[in-house]
């Protein structure tokens, strides 16, 4: 689908933003580009639609050199979503989404049908939102419109440059989940730039880690965690080499004891308030004695807020839990299989005593690695 062959980007002052990068992206893959600021991840993505022309090497789309396209036509055939959304403030939502189909010469009736179809797809009622203006929408709603606009002409490729980074955690989690669902349905090829490793691990079929314009490793999330191919990769993802050490630390040393829980009879409104206050994306459900019962996601609570009386109605079981006697390695292995990206830690009576998330796991192990280096010095 997409192929980079020894692609570089060098500016007039001699700065090499991208240094001889090569990789393939098959059709239907969601590839995440991640790295520190200045690593070349956004430049790499922008070279696909020639927002940034590459200096050397070759970029092919379905076997055709992207330099052989007329730039405007190339860009109209590739969806593009950015952090700032970039909606035209003086256009209605319908008109914002219709821009590219109009440029491609679609008939008005076809455009209107497509716009309404897309608004429904991203969870915005066209009867309510089509005639509104961007300033009348929340940040999350505007980003949904941005995604709809990127899909408007049914492109094979969609570029997403840190699209959710400016949103609050709850809205961000919602949109991440919705994009994953859309991707499964539409099978687009998506190149997604982020600086957030948790987001990369959640979103990416594969993750490309970049530094100083070089591609250091491109692998599945699981392989990156277990087999980092470069010292910086290991440091950047925060994975401690303790995974290979038989003398592993206990899981209670890396868990967070601050677990946000609620009772199954809690109302959805109370649950949403708690989620927003504590800036979390999932709620652990326990009984009065703190015994683990299940979990609800923020996304499900918001979707069902008007149709349920208590969160018990949408509570899901948690199949991936660990006893407090487990090791850090047990958490690392189980985390790859956890659909929620978290693991409750329980004692012998099934009472919740802690929680391990992907972020807290990587942060804790990274901290231990740094301490080990200091001791060695």
Question: Could you give the C-alpha distances from 104 to 78, 80, 110, 286, in angstroms and in order?
Answer: 12, 16, 12, 54
Residue 156: DSSP 8-state: S
Start-end of H helices in 32-168: 41-46, 71-76, 93-103, 108-121, 126-129, 139-151
pLDDT digits (tens, 9 = 90+) for 166-204: 787 777 877 888 888 888 888 999 999 998 887 888 889
pLDDT number for residue 169: 75
CATH 3.40.50.300 location in the chain? 2-237
Mean pLDDT score, 97-114: 93
| Confidence at residue 369, expressed as pLDDT on a 0 to 100 scale | 45
Bridge partner residues of 194 (DSSP): 34
Every domain of the chain with CATH number 3.10.580.10 lies at: 251-365
Q: Which two tokens stand for residue 367?
A: 């901290």
Give the architecture (CATH level 2) of 251-365: Roll (3.10)
pLDDT tens digits, residue range 256-289?
Answer: 888 999 999 999 999 999 888 888 888 999 999 9
* pLDDT confidence of residue 41: 96
**Run of H or E residues at 26:** none
Question: What's the whole-number average pLDDT of the chain?
Answer: 87
Indicate whether 240 pLDDT > 50.
no
Query: Running DSSP on this structure, what letter comes out for residue 248?
Result: P
Tokens 């952090």 sit on residue: 83
Q: Is the alpha carbon torsion for 117, 119, 124, 126 positive or negative?
A: negative
Phi and psi at residue 5, to the nearest 5°: -125, 105
* Alpha-carbon distances, residue 321 vs 175, 338, 342, 348, 353 (angstroms): 26, 9, 9, 12, 11
Paired residues of 30 in beta bridges: 190
Position 363 scores a pLDDT of: 66
Identify the pLDDT of residue 238: 63
* Rounded Cα–Cα distance for residues 4 and 57 (Å): 8
Cβ atoms of residues 169 and 142 within 8 Å: no
CATH T-level fold of 2-237:
Rossmann fold (3.40.50)
* 225 DSSP β-pair partners: none
């Amino acid at each position: 689908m997409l192929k980079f062959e020894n692609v570089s980007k060098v500016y007039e002052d001699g700065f090499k933003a991208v240094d001889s990068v090569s990789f393939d992206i098959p059709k239907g893959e969601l590839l995440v580009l991640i790295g520190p600021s200045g690593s070349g991840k956004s430049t790499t993505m922008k070279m696909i639609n020639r927002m940034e022309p590459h200096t050397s090497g070759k970029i092919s789309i379905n076997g055709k050199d992207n330099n052989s396209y007329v730039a405007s036509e190339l860009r109209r055939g590739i969806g593009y979503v950015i952090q700032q959304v970039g909606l035209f403030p003086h256009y209605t939502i319908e008109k914002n989404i219709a821009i590219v189909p109009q440029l491609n010469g679609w008939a008005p009736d076809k455009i209107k049908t497509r716009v309404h179809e897309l608004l429904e797809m991203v969870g915005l009622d066209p009867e309510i939102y089509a005639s509104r203006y961007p300033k009348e929408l929340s940040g999350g709603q505007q980003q949904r419109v941005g995604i709809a606009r990127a899909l408007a002409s049914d492109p094979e490729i969609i570029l997403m440059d840190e699209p959710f980074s400016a949103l609050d955690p709850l809205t961000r989690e919602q949109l991440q989940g919705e994009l994953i669902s859309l991707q499964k349905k539409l099978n687009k090829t998506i190149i997604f730039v982020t600086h957030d490793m948790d987001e990369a691990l959640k979103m990416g079929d594969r993750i490309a880690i970049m530094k100083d314009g070089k591609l250091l490793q491109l692998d599945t999330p699981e392989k990156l965690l277990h087999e980092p191919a470069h010292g910086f990769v290991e440091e950047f993802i925060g994975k401690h080499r303790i995974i290979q050490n038989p003398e592993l630390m206990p899981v209670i040393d890396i868990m967070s004891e601050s677990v946000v829980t609620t009772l199954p009879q809690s109302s959805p409104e109370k649950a949403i308030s708690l989620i927003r206050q504590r800036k979390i994306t999932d709620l652990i459900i326990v009984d009065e004695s703190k015994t683990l019962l299940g979990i609800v996601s923020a996304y499900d609570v918001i979707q069902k807020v008007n149709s349920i009386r208590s969160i018990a109605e949408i509570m899901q079981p948690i199949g991936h839990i660990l006893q407090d006697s487990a090791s850090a390695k047990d958490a690392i292995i189980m985390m790859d299989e956890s659909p929620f990206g978290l693991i409750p830690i329980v004692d012998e009576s099934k009472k919740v005593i802690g929680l391990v998330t992907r972020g807290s796991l990587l942060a804790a192990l990274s901290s231990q690695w740094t301490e080990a280096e200091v001791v060695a010095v």
